[in-house]
Structure 1
Amino acid sequence: MKTAVSLLLDAKDIVGESIVWSGEEKALYWVDIVGWRIHRLEPSNGRHDVWPTPDFVTSIGMRADGGFIVGLRRTVCLWRPGGAFEEFAVPEPNLPDNRLNEGRVAPDGAFWVSTMQSNLHPDGSPKDMDRNAGAIYRIDADGRVAQLTPNAYGITNTMAWTQDGRFFFADTLANEIYLFDCDVATGALANRRTLGAGFPRGFPDGSCLDAQDRLWNCRVAGGAAVVGFDTDGDLVGLVELPAGWPTSCSFGGPDLSTLYVTSARFTMPADHLDAHPLEGGLFAVEGVGRGLPEPKFGACAQNPSVSEKA
């Protein structure tokens, strides 16, 4: 596999995450969790817009009726650029020590979010974790929240649905990627198996699927790479990056053949950043494969069969 990597934007994100491609706008959207901001970039002409957020912003997805669904620290909101963040759902109202992390629109139009014990103080500095408290939730178009897993995961990352009804998920702290059988319309998950356990390049962060259902996984915390796995857990590719903490990726561009990758500079000392100035940048990778269009929130199946949580 021959690939080419380039810096697309020297974003200097503290924790860049949750990148998505809008085909209609020919633009990328992503968040900087600790920077409290949402980015928009048009790769073809370099136009770059940034909007502040009222709290840590953890994820973003497109809505079918325009605008976005956004995960903040505790709440899921509806938002249009330049407008207010309108509270839509609160997945864990009774777990104040947890925060949201990964979030993505599923193929049926529901919004899935995951939680974790918060690793951030209010000022954005790192906070120690002492338990696995994260879970996965499904939010439908009416705002109903269904809990899909127990609160048993450390740092929850990666959400990707194969075309034949399987679901990828990851626990960064465990250095494990999981594959479930998945009924997307209800959110029911079964038959969890572990892929890529202990892979020696960093730890699993965000991911996306290509059109062949291969998972491209960002290896954070020193991994400096995006790694490709098939659904058997076999390695299908490795892309070296000039940033140690890649965090999230998405296929985009006119034919969905460019892999866009966010990164982080969280907790990095000044001397490291002086020596590695591209940390926190946005990168473009050519030659990996092609993706599929990103689903949009707003066409959720009703009456999930899993137990609901207010």
Structure 2
Amino acid sequence: MIDLAYDARDIVGESIIWSQDERALYWVDIVGRRIHRLEPAGGRHDLWPTPDFITSIGMRQDGGFIVGLRQEVFFWSPGDDFVPFSKPEPDLPDNRLNEGKVAPDGSYWVATMQTNLHPDGSPRAMDRRSGAIYRIDADGNVKKLTDNEFGISNTMAWTEDGRFLFADTAANEIYSFDYDAGSHTLTNRRTIAAGLERGLPDGSCLDAAGTLWNCRVAGGAAVANFDVDGSLRRLIDMPATWPTSCTFGGDDLSTLYVTSARFTMAPEHLKAHPLEGGLFALDAGVRGLAEPKFGRESA
């Protein structure tokens, strides 16, 4: 059974995380320029506006959050200003940040793409693959991990055996890299899943057993569960056609929460499918992993 956890009506809901300390979910609406907080048990919901497109959010060890806006990474706490921290691509003004996540070592990883948004949030055509992956340490030092070669950057997951999983939505492919945690390098990229005819790969999370849960955006209306070698284990049909990101939450991390989008959808479609852009909850039969926090151990 899949429940509507919150009728967010996000334009592009993304980057959902679970705060075990607060028993609360945080996620962003990229085009809506806002950050959500929801306590599922009691129903309390808070909302904060952002000064630009907000693309990702992660928790910090010393409190507050690290967030990606259009081209720059900031520190932020609810009710406070956005404090500039790091700008991964100062020389590529036509790119924007997209995916972003705190890695197990406490660093913050972000990936870029050619911007697909006009300043008013309307869609803008893309004509190149110019996205890359970056690692930002606790001092704000940026290391470029790949060439600028991806279309729409999505999915970040680090396996216990030293692999990094990543997706290019535009290519309909999920990749596995070898990751050296000592030198912070990505090598040996290979495609582990491609061409699945249920939408396109968007955000993902790992469960405690190490399998990948991947949201299938752009009409996929499903969350796909893959082994880390790319074998499809199962598909869960969703009541929203554009599921975008997911995380495990709840006291025992056994509830899978899924954000969604209503970007570019016609009024007639939204009238027939009013749950588009909502936040959903389901029991996937497995448990997830606690979210790491950004901090000094990454330096």
Shorter-chain TM band: over 0.9
Measure the CA separation in 2 of the matches of 1:293 and 1:106. 11
In 2, Cα distance between equivalents of 1:68 and 1:114: 18
Instruction: Tell me which residue corresponds to 1:109.
Output: 106
TM-score, normalising length from structure 1?
A: 0.95
Count of aligned residue pairs for this structure pair: 299
CA distance in 1: counterparts of 2:77 and 2:201, whole angstroms: 31
After TM superposition, give the deviation of residue 273 of structure 1 in Å: 0.1
CA deviation vs aligned residue, 1:70-99 (integer Å, no higher than 9, x gap): 000011000000100000000000100000
Q: How high is the sequence identity, in percent, across the aligned residues? A: 70
Aligned counterpart, 1:278: 275
Q: What do the CA deviations read for 1:192-226 (whole angstroms, capped 9, x no partner)?
A: 11122001100000000001110000000000000
Task: Spell out the pairing of 1:181-192 with structure 2 (5 A cutoff).
Answer: 181-192=178-189
Contact persistence 1:217–1:227 (CA under 8 A): yes
1:165 Cα offset (Å): 1.0
- Quick check: 1:60–1:71 contact (8 Å CA) kept in 2? yes
2:156 maps to which of 149, 154, 159: 159
One-letter code of the match for 2:231? Answer: D
Structure 1 unaligned spans of 5+: 303-310
Matched, 1:125 2:122: yes
SS at match of 1:283: strand
Cα distance per residue 1:237-256 (max 9 Å; x no partner): 21110000000000010000
CA contact (8 A) 1:185 1:300 kept: no
Provide the C-alpha distance between the structure 1 equivalents of 2:4 and 2:23, rounded to a whole number of angstroms.
Answer: 18
Summarize the alignment of residues 244-259 of structure 1 with structure 2, pairs less than 5 Å apart. Answer: 244-259=241-256
Q: Which of the residues 252, 257, 276 maps onto 1:260?
A: 257
Distance 1:18 1:134 in 2: 18
Structure 2 CA distance for aligned equivalents of residues 286 and 64 of structure 1: 29
For 1:149, what is the secondary structure of its paired residue? coil
**Large movers: runs of 4+ above 2 Å:** 184-187, 299-302
Alignment of 1:208-227 (within 5 A): 208-227=205-224
- Aligned residue among 264, 286, 289 for 1:289: 286
In 2, Cα distance between equivalents of 1:138 and 1:196: 24
Alignment of 1:1-310 (within 5 A): 4-302=1-299
Under a length normalisation based on structure 2, what TM-score does the superposition of the two structures give? Answer: 0.99
